[in-house]
Amino acid sequence: MTSPYRAVLGAAFDELHPRLRAYFDAIPAGAVGRGAGVFDTVGTPRRWLWPVLAVFARSHVMFPVWERQVPFTVENRPGRRPDGSPVVLATRVFDLRSRTATMVDAIGVDSGRIDGPHLVDRLGGPVRTEARFAASVSDGGLRLRSTVVWLILAGRRVRVPRPFAPVVVLTERWDEESGQQRVSITVRAPVIGRVYQYAGRFRYEIVNEQEEWSE
């Protein structure tokens, strides 16, 4: 099964660092990807935004916090959408000071575009947000930038108009010095600026689903 990332990047997939190719490639049947690390920062210091983030927290998307040095784990599982296209089901568990918080999302492919396939991430459980991403590779790292954002309201998919839509940027790269993967996500809103972020490093490997994984 082709991974969503390989399907979207095409030949550019092979330009990723070998360790990132292992992370973004298809997960074999009966296996699961597991990782653990530390986020340098999570959330936003703008406390007036926390009531809004609390709404998303109930659906396991974003959290009303501003914390540093947050231990976390990530688990990626392969799946398929009803149309048979590949999807990666991801669960990230944040060990916050006051509680354990879980973020869930499912990233797949939107192949029905004249400008080529794009990644689509459905965030939350239940799903509350959906975003389409343009993907590119630079210096062996992956960069995703959202181009369209939808909210799921009362079961309906409502597109956020471009002038008001937040922009989500994700970068993943391999740090040779530390031997770890680096990840950074920022969410910026028009006029307001940065409203959410997390960034850190982790180790990751593909293991048998039944196998105990040691961090």
The tens digit of pLDDT for each residue in 120-168 reads 999 998 898 999 999 999 999 999 999 999 999 888 899 999 889 999 9
Amino acid, res. 95: D
Q: CA-CA distance, 105 to 179, in Å (whole number)?
A: 26
Does the pLDDT of residue 174 top 70, yes or no?
yes
Residue boundaries of the structural domains of the chain = 4-29+40-208
Encode pLDDT of 22-46 as tens digits: 999 999 888 999 999 999 999 999 9
Encode pLDDT of 40-98 as tens digits: 999 999 999 999 999 999 999 999 999 999 999 999 998 887 777 789 999 999 999 98
Provide the CATH topology of domain 4-29+40-208: Lipocalin (2.40.128)
Q: CA-CA distance, 11 to 197, in Å (whole number)?
A: 30
**Cβ atoms within 10 Å, residue 154:** 5
Stretch 186-199: mean pLDDT: 95
Q: CA-CA distance, 150 to 64, in Å (whole number)?
A: 21
Q: Which of 60-64, 82-86, 193-197, 206-210 has the lowest mean pLDDT?
A: 82-86
Tell me the whole-structure pTM to 2 decimals: 0.91
pLDDT for res 115: 63
Q: For the chain, first and last CA: distance in Å?
A: 27
Reference 125, options 176, 180, 59, 65; nearest CA is 59
